[in-house]
Structure 1
Amino acid sequence: MRKSDKKTENQIREVLTEVCEDTLKGYDGFLWVTHTVKYSSFPQSLKIVCVFDTNQDRANFLVGEGPQHVSTTIQKAFNKVGVQFKNVDKQISYDTQLD
């Protein structure tokens, strides 16, 4: 990993930690946020996964304003550090820890 990749990774982790803490307060069953990224094509390659405890928790989140809130929170948090997305919604997915 190059030095610039480490800097990008740290930036991503800091932003997503902020998003996670915000989301934990507002949504039952929300557990954590994780991500994958190809540094050479960041931010387009960034994939963010919001993980819930159960399928029901995820379903409850998806039928409400949760996805819009999380999307806006992620966009605003990355904007603070100078990272813009064309369509952040396409880079966010929702999963459960149970298969």
Structure 2
Amino acid sequence: MRKTDKKIENQLRIGLTDVCNKALIDIHGFMWLTHTVNYANFPHSLQIVCVFDTNDNLQSYQGSAQSKSLESRIEIELINLGIKVKNITKHISFDTEQSCEAQHGGNWAIRLAKQ
């Protein structure tokens, strides 16, 4: 990883941690988020996964008035970091602890590698 990649990674980590901490307070069932990126194809390769506790809570969030709040928060944070993506929804996916447990025995490393 190049020095500039490390700098971007650190900024992403700090910015997304802030988004996560606020979402923990505001969004029922939200647990955490993470990201993956291939810096050889940045920012196009950036993928952010937002994880909820259960499938029911994720469905409730997606059907609620605040259903786009995570996307908006993440997009604003990326803009503040100077990272521009054309369509934020292509860079964000949703998952649940419940699904990971059922399909991958709770092993997030395997689950995220398959995305």
TM over 0.5: yes
Equivalent residue pairs, number: 99
For structure 2, which runs of at least 5 residues remain unmatched after alignment?
A: 100-115
1:4 is aligned to 4
Three-state SS of the structure 2 residue aligned to 1:66 is: coil
Q: Does 1:38 align with 2:38?
A: yes
For structure 1, which runs of at least 5 residues remain unmatched after alignment?
A: none
CA deviations 1:49-86 (Å, max 9, x no partner) are 00011111111111113331111111111111211110
CA deviations 1:14-60 (Å, max 9, x no partner) are 11111101211111110001111011111111000000111111111
Is contact 1:51–1:96 with CA below 8 Å preserved after alignment?
Answer: yes
Is contact 1:8–1:39 with CA below 8 Å preserved after alignment?
Answer: no
**Aligned letter for 1:69?**
S
Identity within the alignment, %: 44
Q: Which runs of 4+ in 1 moved over 4 A?
A: none
1:48 is aligned to 48
**Aligned letter for 2:42?**
F
Distance, in Å, in 2 between the alignment partners of 1:12 and 1:88 is 15
Question: Which region of structure 1 is more displaced relative to structure 2, 37-46 or 63-72?
Answer: 63-72
Q: Which has the higher contact order (CA 8 A, sep 6+)?
A: 1
The structure having more radius of gyration, on CA atoms, is 2
Structure 2 length as normaliser, TM-score? 0.80
- CA RMSD for the aligned pairs? 1.1
Structure 1 length as normaliser, TM-score? 0.92
